Amino acid sequence: MSVQIPPTERLRTDTIEINMGPHHPSTHGVFRMVLTLDGETVVDLEPRFGYLHRGIEKTAEERTYVQNVPFTDRLDYICGITNNWAYALALEKLAGIEVPERAEYIRVILGELTRVMNHMLAIGFLWNDLGATTFTPVVYAFRERERILDLIEMAAGSRMMPSYIRAGGVVADLPEEFMPRLQKLVPHLKRFIDEMDTMLTKNEIFRARAVGVGVLKAKDAINAGITGPVLRASGVKYDIRKADSYSIYDRFDFEVPVHTAGDVYARYLQRLAEARQSLRIIEQAMRDIPEGPVTSLPYKQLSRLKPPKGEAYGRIESPKGELGFYLVSDGSNKPYRFRIRSTSLLNLTLLREMCLGHKVADVVTILGSIDITLGDVDR
Amino acid sequence: MLTHEEILSRLRERFPDAVLEVPEGMIDFTIVIAPQAWHDVALFLRDELGYDFLTNVTAVDWPDRFEVVYHLYGVQAGHPLLTIKLPVTDKENPTVPSVVDVWRSADFQEREEYDLMGIRFEGHPNLKRIMMWEGYEGHPLRKDFQNRTFTYAELEPSRKATPDW
C-alpha cells in the first residue's frame, strides 16, 4: 500500500535547532551558540557562555592588589600586556600613583606591539574560519606574532603571561638588546602588513564571503556597548586613546581610521589600518624614549599597597575595544570589589542581530570578525 | 560637554525626588539615584543629555545594602565618565528596574549581576543565569558566599573517595 500525496500540496518543513560548540573549532575556545535553522538560514541564535568561567572577580577579593596582576594576564590571553595596563591604570587612579616618563614609553611600545599582534592574528583566524586558503594566513600571522612575543619575553620573561605592567610603572627596565631588535622588527612588520594587504584584500572569494555580511549600524553599535575595531568599522570615530586620552597618547601623531560599511570586510580593513597606525606610534616612541627610572613604586611598597577608601573606574583602548577595571577599596590591602568590564562579552551583545537571515557558514565568519577571546568573555 | 552642576540642575529640575545624594570626595563624579526612578532617569540621560553609551553595570555587596553601579559616557556628545549608583537596602530580595530597553549593553551585564550577585532586574526580557549553570544555587560574588573545596565524591560520584595511587 503506498501513501498518496496530493501533488498540489507544498512540502511543509520545520525549523531545526542545533548546537554549535562548545568544542567547535570556529568558536575560538569554548563558546556555544544555539542556532535555530530554516534550511541553511539562521532564524534564531542564542549565545551561551560560562564554560571558561574561573571566578576571577571573586578570587581577586581574597588576594592583595599585586597578587591580582597575574589574573589579568589570563583574561584576554592574546594580549596580556594591555590587560595588565588597564588594571594598573585603575589602581593608579584609585591610589593616586605617579608613573615615571620612561615607564609610560615602555607601556606604549609594548601595548602597540600587542595591538599589531592581535590584529594580525584576528585577520589570520578570520581567514582560517573562512576555510578558503588552507591555513596559510594564520600561519604567517603566528610567525610574526612569535617575533613580537620574543620581544615581550625579553622584557617580561614570559611570552603570553607577562605580568609586566604594574601600578607605578613596569617591573624592570628593558634589556640592552631590546631596542636594536625592535628597530629591525618595525620595518619588517610594515612589510608584513603590506604583504597581507596584497595577498588578501582583493581576493575575490574573500570579498564574496565578507562584503555585506554581518552589517552593524553605528547607532545600534553604540547602544549595545560595542567598542574597538568593530565599532570603528561601523563608522563611529571613537578611540579611547584620543577621546579620553590616557598615558602619553596625546604626544603622538596618529590617526583613528574609520570605515563606514560595518560588515565583515570593513572590520578586516579596519584592523589592517589600525595596525599601520600602531607602528607609527611605536616609531615615534622609539625615537623619543628618555632614560630614567621605570617605576615609582618598588616591589616592597607595592606589595604592601593600601589604597585609601574609595573607588575608581579606569579604562584603556585594548586591541579588542574598551577594557575597564572598577576597583572598590575599603582601605585594606585587598580590593573590596574587583570588577572587570570585559571587551569580548559586550562585543557579542548584537551577535544574534548580526547573524539573523544569514547562512550557517556566515555565522562563523561574523564571529571571527568580531574577534573574541573566551578568557575575556567568561573571566 | 556638560559640567557637573548642569547635569545636576537639569536632573533635579526634571526629577525633584530622584537625586538622593551627590557624595563628596569621590574620584569619579557620582550621583546616587532612587531605584524606583531609575528607568525614567535613564531615558532622560540618554535622550536629552546625550549619554548614549552605558559601558559597565555592576553591583557591590556592602554589609547593610547593595549598590548597583552604572558607568556612562557620551560617545557622540563626547561626555566624560558619569557614575550612577542605586542603593538597594532590601538585602533579602534586592530589585532594581532593568534598563535593557534604554541601553542594549545592559543585557548580558544585568544577567551577570543577577547570576553572581543575586540582584533582580525587573523588566529584563531574559533574566537567567549566564556564567553558572542552570540549577546552581547561591550567588558567588556575595560576601556571605562560602568558598569551599569540592570533594571527589561531589564532582564524580562514580569515582572513589581516595584514589588508590
pLDDT digits (tens, 9 = 90+) for A159-192: 889 999 998 889 888 998 999 999 999 999 999 9
Sequence-separated (6 or more) residues with CB below 8 Å from residue B143: B61, B63
Q: How confident is the model at residue A280 (pLDDT cuts 50, 70, 90)?
A: very high
Residue A38's pLDDT is: 86
- Say whether residue A22 is in contact with chain B using an 8 A CB cutoff: no
User: Can you give the pTM of this predicted structure?
Assistant: 0.88
Cross-chain residue pair B26–A310, CB shorter than 8 Å: yes
In whole angstroms, give the CA distance from residue A209 to residue A228: 23
Q: CB–CB of A214/A366 below 8 Å?
A: yes
Q: Is A232 on the interface with B (CB under 8 A)?
A: no
Distance CA A76, CA A74 (A): 6
Residue B71: closest C-alpha in chain A: A313
pLDDT for position A132: 59
- Does A346 sit within 8 Å of B147, measured CB to CB? no
The pLDDT value recorded for residue A8 is: 62
- The span from the CA of A146 to the CA of A116, in Å, is 12
Give per-residue pLDDT as tens, A44-64: 898 888 888 888 988 888 888
* pLDDT tens by residue, A96-132: 898 999 999 999 999 999 999 999 989 888 888 887 5
Average pLDDT, chain A: 88
Which candidate, B108, B69, B85, places its Cα nearest to that of B34?
Answer: B85
Chain B residue set in contact with A, beta carbons under 8 Å: 25-28, 52-56, 58, 60-61, 69, 71, 73, 75-76, 78, 80-81, 83, 103-105, 107-109, 112, 116, 129-133, 140-141, 145, 147
Chain A: nearest CA to B53, how far in angstroms? 6
Shortest CA distance from B72: residue in chain A:
A225
> What secondary structure does DSSP assign to A77-122, as a single string?
TT-HHHHHHHHHHHHHHHHT----HHHHHHHHHHHHHHHHHHHHHH
For B88, residues 6+ apart whose C-beta sits below 8 A from its C-beta are B35, B65, B66, B67, B68, B94, B95, B96, B119
Distance from CA of B17 to the nearest CA of A (A): 26
CA B71: distance to chain centroid? 10
Query: Cα–Cα distance between A228 and A221 in angstroms, integer?
Result: 11
Q: How far are the Cα atoms of A63, A113, A272 from residue A245, in angstroms, in the given order?
A: 30, 19, 22
Could you say which residues of chain B have pLDDT below 50? none
DSSP A17: E
Taking an 8 Å cut-off on Cβ atoms, the answer to whether A49 and B130 are in contact is yes
What is the separation of C-alpha A38 from the centre of its chain, rounded to a whole number of angstroms? 33
Per-residue pLDDT reduced to its tens digit, A293-338 = 888 888 888 888 889 998 999 999 999 989 999 999 988 888 999 9
CB contact (8 A) between residue B56 and residue A55: no
What's residue A7's pLDDT?
Answer: 62
- Assess contact for A343 and A78: CB atoms under 8 A: no
Name the residue facing B141 among A50, A57, A313 (closest C-beta). Answer: A57
- Do A60 and A335 touch, CB atoms closer than 8 A? yes
Type of residue numbered B111:
R
In this complex, do B131 and A225 lie within 8 Å of one another by their Cβ atoms?
A: no
| A24 Cα to chain B: minimum distance (Å) | 19
Q: Which residue type sits at B87?
A: P
| Separation in Å, CA A257 to CA A74, A133, A191, A276 | 29, 27, 19, 10
Whether A224 sits inside 8 A of B104 (CB atoms) is yes
Amino acid letter for position A121: L
Average pLDDT of the segment spanning A146-156? 91
* pLDDT (tens digit per residue) in A77-90: 888 899 999 999 99
Separation CA A159–CA A300 (nearest Å): 25
Establish whether the linkage from the previous residue to B23 is cis, with ω within 30° of 0: no
User: Helix, strand, or coil here: A295?
Assistant: strand
- Tell me how far apart the alpha carbons of residues A193 and B20 are, in angstroms, rounded to a whole number: 54
A50 contacts B130? CB cut-off 8 A = yes
Select the residue of B71, B105, B141 nearest A349 (Cβ to Cβ): B105
A51 close to B (CB below 8 A):
no
pLDDT at A1 over 60: no
Band of pLDDT at residue A278, cut at 50, 70 and 90 = very high
A157 CA: distance to closest CA in chain B (Å):
32
pLDDT bucket at A361, cuts 50 / 70 / 90: confident
pLDDT tens by residue, B125-135: 988 888 888 87
Cell of A353: 542581530
The dihedrals phi and psi of A38, each to the nearest 5 degrees, come to: -110, 95
What is the ipTM, given to two decimal places? 0.85
Residues of A in contact with B75 (CB under 8 A): 222, 236, 238, 243
> Would the pLDDT of A6 be above 70?
no
User: How far is B117 from B128, CA to CA, in rounded Å?
Assistant: 12
Of B58, B75, B112, the CB nearest to A326: B58
Whether the CB of A222 is below 8 Å from some CB of chain B: the reply is yes
pLDDT of residue A114: 93
